[in-house]
Structure 1
Amino acid sequence: MTGSWPVAPTPFHDDGSLDEAGMARVLDCIVDSGADGVCILANFSEQFLLSDDERETLTKLCLRHLGGRIPAIVTISHYATDVAVARAQLAKDLGARAVMLMAPYHGALMKGTPQQTFEQMQRVGEVGIPIMIQDAPLSGVELPVDLLVRMAREIEMVQHFKIECPGAATKLRALIEQGGEHIVSPLDGEEGITQLADLDAGATGTMCSAMIPEWIGRVVLPHAQGNRDAAVETYAKILPAVNHENRQCGFRAAKAAMVEGGVIRSDFCRHPVPPLPAPTRDELIGLLRPLDPVSMRWGR
């Protein structure tokens, strides 16, 4: 997996109900941005605010609507291994390229041990669909490099890694060095806030938001071709917007851009997530305008 792999936001109507037609437009916009792939039902998709029935509806809607135009990853994280396995099977049946999941956790105190994490990944791997392990601070579970390498070596389907912990570049470098050919796709995340350092460390791509995926890809490609100077030049152009997204807006940024661009009609986020404050939103849009992203003109 190389290039940009944006997480698709989940649009809602102003009353909080799912906007299924808007979801289809979000996917079309991502495809038209030139993204290399897409991830659905991730944290930036507000997966923690969706019911189980809504997750199943969105999994079916997204994979059928994409129709293989670009590969899709389905996030299946859950504390219960049986639930994660069932979600993996559905994703495989519908043609997903891979599934992504964090280590099992439920709140601050219920966390999988290294062995329990290994066993959950092993069970999901038996479904026969490639796995991307998401190493994210949200889980509160530390995934040391030796555990990640062990899973890559001993579980055939563990092939891809999204590393977005503090010091991601150092961890990526160690993971690639120790895991060798078993580390098929080392990606970074967190909207690309540490993208340059992570690419220097060996990341093959970035799982970003759907705000400016075409610009994220324009950093990855020249870097992969050995033209680091061009990558640095492009990264410098987008970093103010990426920083504002990462530090001020979170997953609300992509929705704001897509409302501005006519992709979706509402940037509603379900309670208890507060709406994006107007000054923060205005600053975001101001930073994005010079970039003229697809997300802000696709529906105009």
Structure 2
Amino acid sequence: MTHATYSGIWPVAPTPFNPDGSLDLPGMRRVLDCMIDQHVDGICILANYSEQFLISDAERETLTRLSLEHVAGRVPVIVTISHYATPIVVERAQLAKDLGAHSVMIMAPYHGALLKGTAEQTYEQFAAVGEVGIPIMLQDAPLSGVDLPVPLLVRMANEIEMLKLFKIECPQAAAKLRSLIAEGGAAIEGPFDGEEAITLLADLDAGATGTMTSAMIPDLIKPILTDFLAGNRQAAIDGYARVLPAVNHENRQCGFRAAKAAMLEGGVIASDFCRHPVVPLHADTRAMLLELIRPLDPVVLKWGK
């Protein structure tokens, strides 16, 4: 879509832990450097694939400061600030802005299965963050359990000046993206998809201009986006077919553990530890993941070697 001003691949940075469960801060810097060497267009931190639900508030601030200082403007950084409490979301937005973040990403307010914001409460929370004066990416993800119909998103896009980007990763994302773009017009400045790009081709066909994947193989997914947006449809289809088995295995079998497993294999990080109650990848699942990505020769498997 010609009106979109945000595009490209903006993957989620994993959060590395030491084997004892403490933050691996040198490893975090290596993760960010590896992602920049994967030629990403931006980086998202503290998202679900960063294990944000396993990180304390103090650790969030440490990681926010470290990441923005270390990236130092080499690429834009999106800071995820989702929380049920609007004052906490606003406080996190202000910190991100003060530290030089490009934008913030927010899910609808929720806390478990039964504490979920209404449509109006979601609007009010995003409007409050908009007052901080930093661009916002709305994350429409099933994890929140909050239904965000297209008319609500269009209203928010038109009435909340700082709401610029929309990461649509609900079921049948392409249909929602198509409707959102058709009804929202120029107010939808950055229609993105997510879910490791498992539906990327359909989403691009629907008008998406960007994607937020994991940090596993963004260097191999970016050319699909570039080819498609340049009108090279068959090249995009061929590229998508090449990476889809690995993306499917990541999405359906591994989740956020896949990027960490690949980074451990490639010497980016020293441990792929995940905090309890997350269980380690089964050895067979890990083996198949590596079996699927090795022939693709991604940056992640050779970056630290």
TM over 0.5: yes
1:30-71 per-position Cα deviation (integer Å, ceiling 9, x unaligned): 000100000000000000000000000000000000000000
Give 1:228's aligned amino acid: R
Tell me how far apart the structure 2 counterparts of residues 146 and 95 of structure 1 sit (CA, whole Å).
32
Q: Aligned with 2:26: secondary structure?
A: helix
Q: Aligned pair count?
A: 300
Please state if 1:47 is matched with 2:52: yes
User: In structure 2, what is the equivalent of residue 266 of structure 1?
Assistant: 271
Shift of 1:189: 0.1
Tell me, in whole angstroms, the C-alpha distance in 1 between the residues paired with 2:279 and 2:206.
36
Q: Identify the residue that residue 126 of structure 1 maps to in structure 2.
A: 131
Give how far 1:3 is off. 1.6
- Equivalent residue for 1:294, pick from 276, 285, 299: 299
Distance in 1 (CA, whole Å) between partners of 2:271 and 2:61 is 22
Matches within 5 A, 1:134-149: 134-149=139-154
Retained in 2: the 8 A contact 1:188–1:207? yes
Q: Does the aligned pair in 2 maintain the 1:35–1:213 contact within 8 Å?
A: yes
User: Is 1:188 aligned with 2:193?
Assistant: yes
Cα distance, 1:2 vs structure 2: 1.3
Is the aligned partner of 1:80 residue 2:85? yes
1:29 to 24, 27, 34: 34
Unaligned runs of 5+ in 1: none
SS in 1 for 2:224: helix
Distance 1:295 1:139 in 2: 31
Paired residues of 1:206 and 1:216 also in contact (CA < 8 A):
no
Residue 77 of structure 2 aligns to which amino acid in structure 1?
A
Alpha carbons 1:211, 1:257 under 8 Å: kept: yes
Q: Which residue pairs with 1:220 in the alignment?
A: 225
Establish whether residue 203 from structure 1 lines up as the match of residue 230 from structure 2. no
Contiguous gaps of at least 5 residues in structure 2? 1-5
Q: TM-score, normalised by structure 2?
A: 0.98
What corresponds to 1:38 in structure 2? 43
Q: 1:9 aligns with which of 14, 26, 33?
A: 14
Shift of 1:244: 0.1
CA deviation profile, 1:3-49 (whole Å, cap 9, x unmatched): 21110000000000000000000000000010000000000000000
Deviations 1:221-275 (A, max 9, x none): 0100011100000000000000000000000000000000000000000000000
Identity of matched residues, %: 70
Query: Runs ≥4 in structure 1, deviation > 6 angstroms?
Result: none
Deviations 1:264-293 (A, max 9, x none): 000000000000000000000000001111
